[in-house]
């Protein structure tokens, strides 16, 4: 049989009237069907058990059971096959019942057997409907499978995405931690750099008392050598030496305390004037020697803010050294001043202004000054970190920093600190 040749559909015909059965078979075979015969219900069921058929043609009146009973038995046995019921004329009610019970179609017998002409068409249509229904079923099953597959894929992908998201969050957490560490190192580096910038000043600060100590010692030695050692002179000199040694101790202590890593330093209620004054310990003498007058207008009755002494001191050191450097660009003989004012604004703010009358900041430079590593100073004399660290220190206190400057006339930094700042706010910044 060539592959192209269409397969003949196999029909089981259950009909107790032998004559009708033969005639029907002949007619169907002529139409291209293969037909098997059974003469009663049980024979039909047996044949269905042994062979497979494409469709079954069932006479309703059978000797051992009726067509509908047989249909039900076929369904009970799980045999899926289109069933066409053949009823006698006038039995249309049975046809309706059969259709309700799952028959694919029905044919009404006529006495002249003319119904045989329509029979092949009825069978073909039933087969087609059956095949279509099967195809639909298959497609629906496929669709269901695809839907399930898709749902599983979506589920897997969602899981993957969630994991990815979690990894990403973990990465962000790690990076944030790294960044905080780097920032802390940067602050420490900036502080050491600030100390470096202060270096010359520190030498200055120590030189002064050292000179006094040395001069007093010379005087005592001189007196001893010339034999006019007077007890009063020794006492005065020793007191002078002591007070200047004390001054040196304060300076050295201060450097040690300031350079210390901040991790263990405390946050507490602080009077803003303390770090302002302390910031001058290492700077005052050198500012004086440069002819820069420091004017302090500090309100002594200010409420305390929540703060970190070293960080606040570092803020004022940075602003004062910047002002000091800005006077290097002044060629005229103006009276150089750095004025620091502290005062309360409204009920909830403390303001500190650091104002100089030095060279000022040109308009095109102004937007950059808080950027890390931005400097207009010569290579080696500025790291450009001062104001960026100052900015983050002010922010850590919940404060704001702004600047007003006019090229050639001077610069004022305005710092605002909140009064109602709780410990938790500072810890969230740590
Ligand atoms: N009071 C000021 N007067 C004029 N210019 C200023 C003043 N304060 C800051 N600037 C300008 O802002 C720039 C950045 O200041 P910043 O303190 O961040 O870095 P720096 O002073 O250059 O270096 P360092 O890291 O040593 O502080 C300075 O180079 C300077 O041009
Ligand atoms: Mg600076």
What is the whole-number distance in angstroms between the Cα of residue 375 and the centre of ligand 1?
6
Is 304 within a domain? yes
pLDDT in tens, 170-221: 988 998 888 888 777 776 666 666 666 565 567 777 888 888 899 988 888 8
User: Which has the closest alpha carbon to 109: 11, 9, 17, 12?
Assistant: 17
From atom 28 of ligand 1, which residue's Cα is the shortest distance away? 375
Mutational test site, ligand 1, from 201, 357, 382, max ligand atoms within 8 Å of CB:
382
Is 309 within a domain? yes
Give the count of domains, the chain.
2
The SS3 call for residue 313 is helix
**CA distance linking residue 205 with residue 198, whole number of Å:** 10
**CA distance linking residue 197 with residue 195, whole number of Å:** 5
Average pLDDT over residues 380-398: 87
From atom 5 of ligand 1, which residue's Cα is the shortest distance away? 361
- Of residues 168 and 258, which shows the higher confidence score? 168
CATH of the domain at 74: 3.40.50.2300
Quick check: CB of 314 below 6 Å from ligand 1?
no
| Domain boundaries, position 80 | 10-113
- Of residues 374 and 428, which shows the higher confidence score? 374
Of 113, 140, 165, which marks where a domain is finished?
113
Which residues, at least 6 apart from 370, have a Cβ–Cβ distance to it below 8 Å? 387, 388, 391, 401
**CA distance linking residue 213 with residue 340, whole number of Å:** 32
Quick check: CB of 377 below 6 Å from ligand 1?
yes
Lookup: tokens for 323: 């002002």
From atom 22 of ligand 1, which residue's Cα is the shortest distance away? 375
Is 260 within a domain? no
Ligand with smallest separation from the Cα of 391? 1
Quick check: CB of 355 below 6 Å from ligand 1?
no
Ligand with smallest separation from the Cα of 366? 1
Lookup: tokens for 389: 């660290």
Quick check: CB of 319 below 6 Å from ligand 1?
no
What is the whole-number distance in angstroms between the Cα of residue 317 and the centre of ligand 1?
12
What is the whole-number distance in angstroms between the Cα of residue 76 and the centre of ligand 2?
95
Q: What is the sign, positive or negative, of the torsion defined by CA atoms of 250, 254, 256, 262?
A: positive
User: Any idea how long the chain is?
Assistant: 430
- In this structure, the dihedral spanned by the alpha carbons of residues 286, 290, 385 and 412, taken in order and rounded to 10 degrees, is 120
Question: Distances in Å between the alpha carbon of 83 and those of 14, 52, 56?
Answer: 11, 13, 5
What is the whole-number distance in angstroms between the Cα of residue 322 and the centre of ligand 1?
5
Mutational test site, ligand 1, from 338, 383, 384, 404, max ligand atoms within 8 Å of CB:
384
> In 122-159, which positions are buried (b, 16+ CB within 10 angstroms) versus exposed (e)?
bbeebbeebeeeeeeeeeeeeeeeeeeeeeeeeeeeee
Is 82 within a domain? yes
pLDDT in tens, 257-269: 666 655 556 889 9
**Residue 354 and residue 340 in contact, taking contact as beta carbons nearer than 8 Å:** yes
Determine the longest span between alpha carbons in the chain, in angstroms: 168
From atom 9 of ligand 1, which residue's Cα is the shortest distance away? 322
The SS3 call for residue 400 is strand
Of 125-129, 252-256, 309-313, minimum mean pLDDT range: 252-256
Of 113, 133, 152, which marks where a domain is finished?
113
Of 93, 113, 133, which marks where a domain is finished?
113
Is 169 within a domain? no
DSSP label at residue 333: -
The per-residue DSSP string of 157-178 comes to: HHHHHHHHHHHHHHHHHHHHHH
Average pLDDT over residues 391-408: 94
User: Which has the closest alpha carbon to 415: 429, 403, 425, 430?
Assistant: 403
CATH of the domain at 403: 3.30.565.10
Q: What is the sign, positive or negative, of the torsion defined by CA atoms of 209, 212, 218, 224?
A: negative
Is 78 within a domain? yes
Is 363 within a domain? yes
Mutational test site, ligand 1, from 190, 318, 322, max ligand atoms within 8 Å of CB:
322
């Amino acid at each position: 049989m060539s592959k192209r040749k269409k397969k003949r559909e196999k029909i089981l015909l259950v009909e107790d009237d032998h004559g009708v059965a033969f005639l029907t078979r002949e007619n169907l075979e002529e139409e291209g069907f293969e037909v098997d015969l059974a003469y009663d219900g049980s024979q039909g069921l047996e044949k269905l058990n042994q062979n497979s058929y494409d469709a079954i043609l069932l006479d309703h009146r059978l000797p051992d059971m009726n067509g509908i009973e047989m249909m039900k038995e076929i369904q009970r046995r799980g045999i899926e096959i289109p069933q066409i019921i053949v009823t006698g004329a006038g039995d249309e009610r049975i046809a309706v019942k059969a259709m309700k019970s799952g028959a694919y179609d029905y044919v009404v017998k006529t006495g002249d057997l003319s119904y045989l002409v329509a029979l092949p068409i009825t069978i073909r249509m039933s087969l087609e409907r059956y095949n279509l229904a099967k195809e639909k079923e298959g497609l629906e099953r496929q669709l269901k499978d695809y839907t399930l597959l898709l749902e599983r894929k979506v589920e897997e992908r969602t899981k993957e995405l969630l994991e990815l998201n979690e990894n990403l969050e973990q990465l962000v957490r790690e990076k944030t931690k790294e960044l905080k560490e780097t920032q802390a190192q940067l602050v420490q580096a900036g502080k050491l750099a600030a100390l470096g910038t202060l270096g010359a000043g520190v030498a200055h600060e120590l030189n002064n008392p050292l000179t006094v100590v040395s001069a007093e010692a010379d005087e005592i030695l001189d007196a001893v050598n010339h034999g006019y050692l007077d007890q009063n002179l020794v006492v005065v000199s020793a007191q002078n030496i002591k007070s200047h040694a004390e001054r040196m101790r304060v300076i050295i202590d201060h450097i040690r305390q300031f350079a210390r890593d901040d991790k263990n330093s405390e946050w507490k209620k602080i009077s803003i004037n303390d770090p302002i004054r302390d910031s001058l310990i290492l700077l005052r003498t050198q500012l004086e020697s440069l002819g820069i007058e420091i004017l302090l207008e500090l309100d002594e009755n200010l409420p305390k803010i929540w703060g970190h002494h070293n960080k606040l001191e570092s803020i004022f050191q940075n602003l004062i050294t910047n002002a000091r450097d800005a006077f290097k660009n002044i060629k005229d003989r103006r009276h150089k001043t750095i004025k620091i004012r502290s005062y309360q604004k409204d009920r909830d703010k403390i303001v500190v202004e650091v104002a100089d009358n030095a060279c000022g900041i040109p308009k095109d430079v102004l937007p950059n000054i808080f950027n890390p590593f931005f400097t207009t100073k010569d290579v080696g004399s500025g790291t450009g970190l001062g104001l960026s660290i100052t900015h983050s220190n002010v922010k850590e206190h919940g404060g704001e920093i702004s600047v007003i400057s006019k090229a050639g006339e001077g610069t004022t930094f305005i710092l605002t600190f909140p009064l109602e700042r709780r410990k938790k706010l500072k810890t969230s910044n740590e």
